[in-house]
Amino acid sequence: MTSKERFNLTVNHRQPDRMVVDFGSTSVTGIHVLSVENLRKYYGLDYKPVRVTDPYQMLGEVDQELIDIIGIDVIAARGPKNSFGFFNHEPLKEYMTNWGQKVLVPEGFRTSKDEKGDELIYPQGDTAARPSGRMPGKGYFFDAIIRQEPIEEDKLDPQDNLEEYGLVSDSDLEYWEITTRRARDTGKAVVAGLGGTALGDIAHIPGIKLKNPKGIRDITEWYMSIIARPDYIRAIFDRQSEIALENFSRLHGVIDDNVDAVYICGTDFGTQDSTFCSPEQFDDLWLPYYQRINNWVHANTNWKTFKHSCGAVESFMPRFIAAGFDIINPVQVSARGMDPVLLKKKYGKDIVFWGGGIDTQNILPYSTPGKVREEVLRLCDIFSRNGGFVFSTVHNIQANVPVENIVAMVDAIKEFNGNG
């Protein structure tokens, strides 16, 4: 059975020959560049600087050598640009991180240091603009720099929060046609983040790809606006989803079935023990637009739709399903109410769990290899029954996770799949 065949069975809630595995196909199922390098060393692979695939989170490329070693079934068809708005592909250059690792980054990755020794990165690689990201001197990834101008209530215009959303260009259509065809030729399942559907994702609200973002760009102000300015939020989502579906129509014309799943939105609705908004607010502000997007995808394509939300979102699972999402990630099993047995029993026939294979906040970084193995086997046994489960960690594997624990996880996956 090929990876694509295995994936197709899984996402249609049928039992494959073995569990589908993903590391690196999305910005929420990745591995930090330092952990990628440590894995390469552990497996005795030739040294080469790891390529940064996501400069914002400093995620590293899980290349063909690691794909083969780990047994990965899903790969990314990556967009032309990254979160900071510069071209995310070759030519590449070397960059020395503040933790002493040499990595490969795109030409547009341009930084400077401030008086505290923090690394600053620039939108669209333009060092004449105000920096839009900051990596603390002892940090391992960038945080958004809030550059919101003072708000004048009577001058707020939803169009200001739509500046980064426009129609896809002919050159981008050509790019997507080529990159998705190459991805399809690998025989793996293919995931793509086509962009434009991040409704209220706080990773996007600050506008880190924009040189002079306008509108509501402060994360705290955005959350308050959900209550104080719902009409403003609704107007943004309405127009944003219209633009997105026009782009999806054009993209589908060149991509067709070269993509198996599309990353729709990474808006988090959960904290560690509760939700960010009430169910009624979700129904009012998000549900109609999620349904609009998902209904179009299901009516016009064979793509599966991927929703990311961290936190305690068990109570929102029926709403994610009603919104038309096929896939939920990261399945934060450590959050309140996110009991894997309960989730699988109540929702396993209606939504695919993509993630939940091992807790990345406590067990993977701080436990023992034996405990990691035990937990991986336990969670795989629960989630993988009757299909509907793609193994990945609960969000990205961070820097400085003991490599022995990562290897214990990989070995447990192989053991569960019968090829350990």
In the chain, % of residues over pLDDT 70: 100
Nearest to 251 by CA among 200, 189, 296: 296
pLDDT for residue 398 is more than 90: yes
Beta strands in 177-266 (DSSP E): 189-192, 261-265
Angle in degrees, CA 28, 392, 48, rounded to 5: 75
The whole-angstrom separation of Cα 255 and Cα 260 is 10
Give the pLDDT band (50/70/90) at residue 420.
Answer: low
Residue type at 409?
A: M
Q: What percent of the chain has pLDDT over 90?
A: 100
Average pLDDT over residues 160-178: 97
Per the CB < 8 A criterion, the answer to whether 269 and 309 are in contact is yes
Q: How many CB atoms lie under 10 A from the CB of residue 97?
A: 18
- pLDDT on residue 36: 98
Assigned domain for 97 exists? no
- The distance from CA 414 to its chain's CA centroid, rounded to whole angstroms, is 24
In a domain, 109, yes or no: no
Q: For the chain, what is the domain count? A: 1
Looking at residue 419, what is its pLDDT?
78
| pLDDT above 90: residue 370 | yes
Render pLDDT for 262-281 as a digit per residue (tens, 0 to 9).
Answer: 999 999 999 999 999 999 99
Q: What is the pLDDT of residues 27-60, one digit of tens each?
A: 999 999 999 999 999 999 999 999 999 999 999 9
Is 99 among the domain residues?
no
Report if residue 95 sits inside a domain. no
Name the average pLDDT for the chain.
Answer: 97
Domain range for 201: 3-86+149-416
For 302, residues 6+ apart whose C-beta sits below 8 A from its C-beta are: 257, 260
- Residue 69: HSE in the Cβ half-sphere, 13 Å Cα cutoff: 18
DSSP-assigned letter for residue 273: S
Average pLDDT, stretch 126-143?
Answer: 98
Confidence bin at 66 (pLDDT 50/70/90): very high
The model's pLDDT over 189-223, given as tens digits with 9 standing for 90+, comes to: 999 999 999 999 999 999 999 999 999 999 999 99
- Residue 235 covered by a domain: yes
Q: Is residue 269 included in any domain, yes or no? A: yes
Contact 56, 83 (CB under 8 A): yes
Total count of residues recorded for the chain? 420
Residue 130 belongs to what H/E stretch?
none
For residue 365, the domain's CATH number is 3.20.20.210
Q: Give the pLDDT mean for 356-380.
A: 98
- Where are any strands of DSSP class E within 259-347? 261-265, 304-308, 327-329
Does this model's pTM top 0.85? My answer is yes
Q: How far is residue 339's CA from residue 362's CA, in Å, rounded to a whole number?
A: 16
In a domain, 170, yes or no: yes
Burial 357-377 (b: 16+ CB within 10 A, else e): bbbbeebbbebebeebbebbe
175 found inside a domain: yes
